Amino acid sequence: MTDGWHCLHLYYAVNQEGLEMFDEEEREEGRRQLVQILDPNREGAPARIQTSVVSGTKADLGLMILDEDPLVIDSIQQSIRSSLLGPAFEPTYSFVSITEVSEYVPTVEQYGERLRAEGTDPASPAYAAKLKAYEERENVMRKQRLYPDLPPWPVMSFYPMNKIRHPHANWYTEPFSRRMEMMTEHGRSGMMFAGKVTQLITASTGFDDYEWGVTLWAKAPQFIKEIVYRMRFDEASARYAEFGPFYISYILPPEQALKHLQV
């Protein structure tokens, strides 16, 4: 992989009967092992690892892991499995993907074409200023999408999705210009939540059962509901999107997450 990171979402359920196999001393040692495995600052840790506790019965513990080496990511899964408390953690869901820059994000050249189409004189200072400003934003955006910093916000939502292939609504038979138009509308809807919600879209075509994974972080739970509801009215979603399961979770450091789960 030359650009970007591999990404893995992992979800576990805590098996109470499995926990009861261990006495308190063993549990304490098991917790210490897990905190060490999930420590994002330890030597040899993946580039990014985030721990959360999941609301509802789909799972108890959620992990999001990113690194340039997929085997470094997999080592987290295998370390949990082989740890002292491993038998008490049952995998319930996983999603494999990679970071990418969407083909619907305009290049600097395409942005210049858009400015000219809107009537901006390419010889004018305004054209040069707008193009330079976009180039700077595009560089920052590209880095964040390929090598993301995970925001320090308390709420996280993850779901996979596809663009459907229905005879009367096949995303992949639409011309690129039409798809770009719809995704531009979709992007404008998302921008309404700047400062409240941030997202990372990872690609999973050929990697998992859905084509993309959507990870949202928010400052409050209601913002997740609001942005997903609002964006479903965009044509790209209303006509062409198919969604998988939704996971809502609350980000905690590993030690606090295990305490919350009463491990």
Coil, helix or strand at residue 147: coil
Give the closest residue to 154 by CA, choosing from 237, 240, 248, 66: 248
Output the CA torsion sign for 171, 174, 178, 179.
positive
Q: CA distances (Å), 83 to each of 27, 30, 177, 224, in order?
A: 11, 7, 51, 34
- Whose tokens are 């059962």? That residue is 209
Render 68-92 in DSSP notation, one character per residue.
S-HHHHHHHHHHHHHSTTGGGEEEE
| CB contact at 8 A, 204 and 94 | no
- Contacts of residue 176, Cβ cutoff 8 Å, sequence gap at least 6: none
Told to judge if 159 belongs to the known catalytic residues of this protein, a careful annotator would answer yes
Structure token digits, residue 34: 């897990």
- Contacts of residue 142, Cβ cutoff 8 Å, sequence gap at least 6: 101
Q: Which of 11, 134, 159, 247 is catalytic?
A: 159
Backbone angles phi, psi at 239, to 5 degrees: -105, -30
Four-CA torsion 13, 87, 74, 25, nearest 10 degrees? 100
| CB contact at 8 A, 99 and 1 | no
Active site residues: 159
